[in-house]
Amino acid sequence: MDANIIIFHLCSFVFLILRGADGDMSYSFPEEMKRGSVIGNIAKDLGLQTGALSNRRARIDTDGTDKRYCDINLNNGELVVADRIDREGLCGEKASCVLKQELVLENPLELHRITLHIQDINDNSPQFKEELINIEIHESADRGARFVIEEAHDADVGQNSVQQYSLKKNDNFILAANGNTIELVLDKELDREKQKEINLLLTALDGGSPQRSGTVVIHVTVLDANDNAPVFSQDVTPNDINLLACFTKTCLVRLLFTPLFSHIDQILFECCFFLLPW
Ligand SMILES: [Ca+2]
Ligand SMILES: [Ca+2]
Ligand SMILES: [Ca+2]
Ligand SMILES: [Ca+2]
């Protein structure tokens, strides 16, 4: 190949790269826009006559791995949404979500990078892993005792993710939320003999507009503690005691004369019998 031709091609290559770098375009728009929604106007942004786009067979290319998310309307130069752009599906928990596309023009060949910054919208609600959380707490638990509750998740990011929790007013518990740690705090001691089970309603709220929320029921089973002494159901009179003593004594005498009663048992029994205050 002629040296001049090589130099010419080399210069063209440098020219293309420079044109490409100079003509990069960047657009920022929300996820989930309908197909055909307008992102921007490429003809205007590149300073081209509208007819130039179809004359130069303008098209959107991908580098082979990226899907084609936008398209050009050759009649008016508008860049439009070509496929669903779901920020959660594309970028997950990343704070920034960027898609790269490429505009190709022919005669002469030009490449322009198109950078799409996808903004999050609040299209997901906070969700708890379970619909019902079961916990067991002893009635002897002290006031101030804390019980960790699993946090809620929201697929959106930033303000659109979970921002706060609220616990429906109840007699025994308040809520303590510190970052991702959610705790029930015992504010008034439990009494199993008064209430064996308590249902609490916990709500997680995001900071989006409109705000979205998710709820979970916390079912508390109050476990028994030995906090009551046995009591007679009615007053016991001296006559009741005498009757009981007489009955017990009769049983013991019968036992004493049972043939199977061993010699040692008899001695022990006689000691107890004579020690009893009857
Ligand atoms: Ca989405
Ligand atoms: Ca979202
Ligand atoms: Ca959300
Ligand atoms: Ca008890």
How much distance in Å is there from the Cα of 190 to the middle of ligand 1? Answer: 44
Domain 132-223: assigned CATH number: 2.60.40.60
How much distance in Å is there from the Cα of 181 to the middle of ligand 2? Answer: 23
Helix 238-256 × helix 263-275 angle, to 10°? 160
Residues 6+ apart with CB under 8 A from 177: 164, 165, 183
Residue pair 116/27 in contact (Cβ under 8 Å)? The answer is yes
Taking the C-alpha atoms of residue 126 and residue 159, their distance in angstroms, rounded to an integer, is 12
How much distance in Å is there from the Cα of 204 to the middle of ligand 1? Answer: 19
Q: What is the pLDDT of residue 19?
A: 42
Tokens encoding 198: 């308590």
| pLDDT of the chain, 278 residues: tens digit per residue | 444 444 444 444 444 443 444 578 999 999 999 999 999 999 999 999 878 999 999 999 876 666 889 999 999 999 999 999 999 999 999 999 999 999 999 999 999 999 999 999 999 999 999 999 999 999 999 999 999 999 999 999 999 999 999 999 999 999 999 888 999 999 999 999 999 999 999 999 999 999 999 999 999 999 999 988 988 776 656 666 565 565 566 555 555 555 555 555 555 555 445 444 44
Backbone angles phi, psi at 43, to 5 degrees: -60, -45
Q: What is the pLDDT of residue 117?
A: 97
How much distance in Å is there from the Cα of 223 to the middle of ligand 4? Answer: 8
Judge if 2-119 and 132-223 fold alike in CATH terms. yes
Instruction: Considering every ligand atom shown, identify the ligand nearest to the alpha carbon of residue 195 and give its number.
Output: 4
User: From the CB of residue 36, how many other CB atoms can be counted at a distance below 10 Å?
Assistant: 11
Taking the C-alpha atoms of residue 200 and residue 36, their distance in angstroms, rounded to an integer, is 47
Q: What is the pLDDT of residue 6?
A: 42
Instruction: Considering every ligand atom shown, identify the ligand nearest to the alpha carbon of residue 212 and give its number.
Output: 3
Domain boundaries, the chain: 2-119, 132-223, 238-274
How much distance in Å is there from the Cα of 219 to the middle of ligand 2? Answer: 31
Instruction: Considering every ligand atom shown, identify the ligand nearest to the alpha carbon of residue 160 and give its number.
Output: 3
Taking the C-alpha atoms of residue 173 and residue 143, their distance in angstroms, rounded to an integer, is 9
pTM: 0.72
Q: Reading across the β-sheet that carries 98-105, which strands appear in turn? A: 25-30, 110-119, 98-105, 59-61
How much distance in Å is there from the Cα of 221 to the middle of ligand 4? Answer: 13
Q: What is the pLDDT of residue 244?
A: 59
How much distance in Å is there from the Cα of 236 to the middle of ligand 4? Answer: 24
Q: What is the pLDDT of residue 94?
A: 96
Q: What is the pLDDT of residue 168?
A: 98
Taking the C-alpha atoms of residue 10 and residue 12, their distance in angstroms, rounded to an integer, is 5
| Range 2-119 classified under CATH 2.60.40.60 | yes
How much distance in Å is there from the Cα of 90 to the middle of ligand 2? Answer: 11
Nearest 10 degrees: Cα torsion 223, 224, 227, 230 = 170
